[in-house]
Amino acid sequence: MGIRIVVKGADFSERAVSYIPAVEDGLEYLNFFGGSADNLRRNLAKGKPDALLVGAPVVKAHSAVFTNLVNYLKTAVDHTPSMSIVLVLKTPATEDDAMYVSNFGSQRKGAPAGTTTLGTTTWFRGLGPVDGKGKLGQIVSYVEGATNPAVEPLEIDVPTNTIRMMASSFHTPTRQAKFVDKTAGYSDSRTLPVDRTFDLGQTFNIGSTVGPYAPSTTAEIYFAALYSRQLSDAELDAVYQSLKAYYTHRGIVI
């Protein structure tokens, strides 16, 4: 028998050392950012290793601002044949690019040393000229035949300077990649032709690519979760409802 103590209005998330997620199967990494720099490294996924902190991201009340290749997190999450990446993020106030989660430029799996992959990246890119919108989405790389790498973008137009929950995923057995903006209720998907396979790299960074790409770009992230499988629509909805309740309690609309 246990005892449950409820303190109305209290928020202990800053000191949390564990978390019961809406969907736990396949969870490799999970963290809520903000409140304290001490929380940046933690991984609330049960039994999974913490991230390695590089530089000094700017910590806000409920988020952290990362700078590509300068201030970011190196996770221990491997690039598996099927994955889901769930984020609560803020799109840039201007039409700058923002790298949220990426392994672009890492060593390609099964390839000779020094062979890099385009990997998988969740990002925002401005459209220009200034129109208050940009493209939020997922870029997945694939190999056509045996040696010809290319990328497949899945993107949705979204306003700048907005907080939203997005989820990107890919599934090797069905060759399907999917991007969902749960805040707006929009999605985009692709199925690769039979002669193409997802181009896998190494572990993922949060707030940065692995290889060189516009080092000055910044990305503001509230929450990140990485799964080693593709979540179903019902599972993503359960995650969204859980996060929506969490942030509503803190006066944040996602």
Range ranked top by mean pLDDT from 131-135, 149-153, 246-250? 246-250
Long-range Cβ contacts of 42-46 (<8 Å, 24+ apart): 42/17, 43/75, 44/16, 44/17, 44/18, 44/19, 45/21, 45/225, 46/18
Q: What is the DSSP letter of 15?
A: G
Alpha-carbon distance 218 to 70, whole Å? 10
- Answer yes or no: is pLDDT of 3 > 50: no
Tokens matching residue 20: 């019961």
Cα 32 to chain center, whole Å? Answer: 12
Q: What is the DSSP letter of 48?
A: P
Q: Which domains are assigned to the chain?
A: 24-248 (2.60.120.200)
Quick one: what percent of the chain has pLDDT higher than 90? 68
Average pLDDT, the chain: 89
pTM: 0.91
pLDDT band at 228 (very low <50, low <70, confident <90, very high): very high
Predicted local distance difference test score (pLDDT) of residue 121: 94
Averaged pLDDT for residues 133-140:
86
CA angle 121, 126, 130 (to 5 degrees): 175
